[in-house]
Amino acid sequence: MPNKPTRQASNARVTGADVARLAGVDPAVVSKILKGDSRLRVSDETRKRVMEAIKELGYHPNYAAQRLRSAGHIGAIGLIIPNFSSQTYGEIVHGAEVASIKKKVALFVSSENEFESPLELIIGLVASERVDALLIATGTAKETAEINDYLTKRKFPFLFLNRQSVGTRRSLFLDDEYAIGLAVNHLIELGHKNIYNITGKRTMETGKRRRKAFKDAMVSGGLTFRPEMVLEEEYNAPGGQRGFEEIMKRKPKPSALVISEFIMAVGALNSARKAGISVPDDLSIVALNDLEIASLLNPTLTTVALQLQALGEEGFNLLIDRPFDEEIYQKVSLSAELFPRESSQPLRK
């Protein structure tokens, strides 16, 4: 019976054969999984064993960082997003695409949707050598910390987009605090006092940050803040629908809502229509992120643009232009911008 391979010494090179022995598969299977060979037919359990073996052994053939030191350039950047269905992430991808064309560096976009976690996808990308560096626009606070540790230990170039988890070494992020402040102040100027917030889950670092920003904006605007003024939901249309239905049960009823993600606001508008609640006559709504369809909705939706394209473009440039081992922790250069439309109107007396 062959000996089970153990984690290699730091100066020893782990091979695909080592991974294959630990996972109990043929070395060709490891190679094909890492290359994403569509002709390979293996079970999910086998694929999982291989990915776990890669992680345990720290398999990373020919570090991209080593290529950077020897070749002095990046040939391909991978951008990881949660899924391809969100127009919000489409804006980030577009910004990165603009930068990739200018820099003449290839951009490969991957979704974590078919993986158990973003780290599983990242392990495969690093080991397969398909990209030289990573832009990461996904992950909970816990997942971000794990990804940060994994890539830092392997000296693999990376940059988080809009992730500010504790200990994160390299991140470019949006000014959520300023953006939420614009939304709340706009509603205060319209005479609203009972302003409520539908935001993301606290497991998502953006949800936690936007929740705090809402509280701070209410207090600095001279209004009373109560925890029940905030409701947490998933960053999707069903989440916006559920959030709207729940928050409208609370007392006193809100006269205005700040919704922390555009697609959640679309779901909320749908629920308002079904409930016979007129927007803006009965309730004003302001949403974060200004997508093109905001001016095509009925009513047209007041938004705060978060400069998502700038996030993608500036992030791509930072990853190319800065040393891969330099710590980066900064905001996007462009400020958020308010676009008033029909969904927010002065409070009716």
Q: How confident is the model at residue 60 (pLDDT cuts 50, 70, 90)?
A: low
Between 195 and 83, name the one with better pLDDT.
195
Does the pLDDT at position 346 exceed 90?
yes
> How far apart (Å, rounded) are the C-alpha atoms in residues 348 and 188?
13
Yes or no: say if 76 and 108 are a contact pair by the CB < 8 Å rule: yes
pLDDT of residue 73: 63
Local confidence band at 83 (pLDDT 50, 70, 90 cut-offs): confident
- Given a cut of 90, is residue 77 above it in pLDDT? yes
pLDDT per residue over 133-155, tens digit each? Answer: 999 998 888 888 899 999 988 88
pLDDT grade for 85, boundaries at 50, 70 and 90: confident
Q: Is the pLDDT of residue 51 over 70?
A: yes
Predicted confidence at residue 8, as pLDDT, reads: 47
Calculated CA dihedral for residues 78, 80, 84, 87, nearest 10 degrees: -100
Among candidate residues 304, 252, 240, 254, the one with its CA nearest the CA of residue 282: 254
pLDDT of 38 over the 80 cut:
no
Q: Kindly list the structural domains of the chain, giving each domain's residue range(s) and its CATH number in brackets, ordered by start.
A: 16-57 (no CATH), 64-174+309-331 (3.40.50.2300), 176-306 (3.40.50.2300)
pLDDT over threshold 50, residue 71: no
Stretch 117-138: mean pLDDT: 88
Quote the CA–CA distance of 199 and 210 in Å, as a whole number. 7
Asked if residue 88 has pLDDT above 80, the reply is: yes
Average the pLDDT over 275-295 and give the result: 95
The yes-or-no verdict on residue 330 having pLDDT over 80 is yes
At 10, the pLDDT band (50, 70, 90 cuts) reads very low
| 223 HSE (CA, 13 A, CB side) | 21
User: What integer pLDDT is reported at residue 9 of this predicted model?
Assistant: 42
Q: Report, as an integer, the average pLDDT of 278-290.
A: 96
Taking 50 as the threshold, does the pLDDT of residue 260 lie above it?
yes
Confidence of residue 130 (pLDDT cuts 50, 70, 90): confident
314 Cβ neighbours under 8 A, 6+ residues apart:
95, 99, 172, 332, 333
| pLDDT value for 188 | 97
Amino acid, res. 65? A
State the average pLDDT for the chain: 87
Most confident of 203-212, 241-250, 327-336: 241-250
Instruction: Please report the pLDDT score of residue 348 as a whole number.
Output: 84
pLDDT at 13 over 90: no
Q: Is the pLDDT of residue 1 over 60?
A: no
Q: Which residues contact 22 (CB under 8 A, 6 or more apart)?
A: 4, 5, 53, 56, 57
Confidence bin at 112 (pLDDT 50/70/90): confident
Handedness of CA 317, 319, 320, 322 (dihedral sign): positive
- pLDDT surpasses 70 at 202: yes
pTM for this entry: 0.77
Lowest mean pLDDT among 56-65, 158-167, 319-328: 56-65
Q: What is the pLDDT of residue 70?
A: 42
Question: Which whole number is the average pLDDT over 247-258?
Answer: 95
Percent of the chain with pLDDT over 90: 55
Q: What local confidence, expressed as pLDDT, does residue 317 receive?
A: 95
Instruction: Determine the pLDDT at residue 12.
Output: 56
Name the helix (H) or strand (E) containing 102.
helix 87-103
Rounded CA-CA distance 260/179 in Å is 10
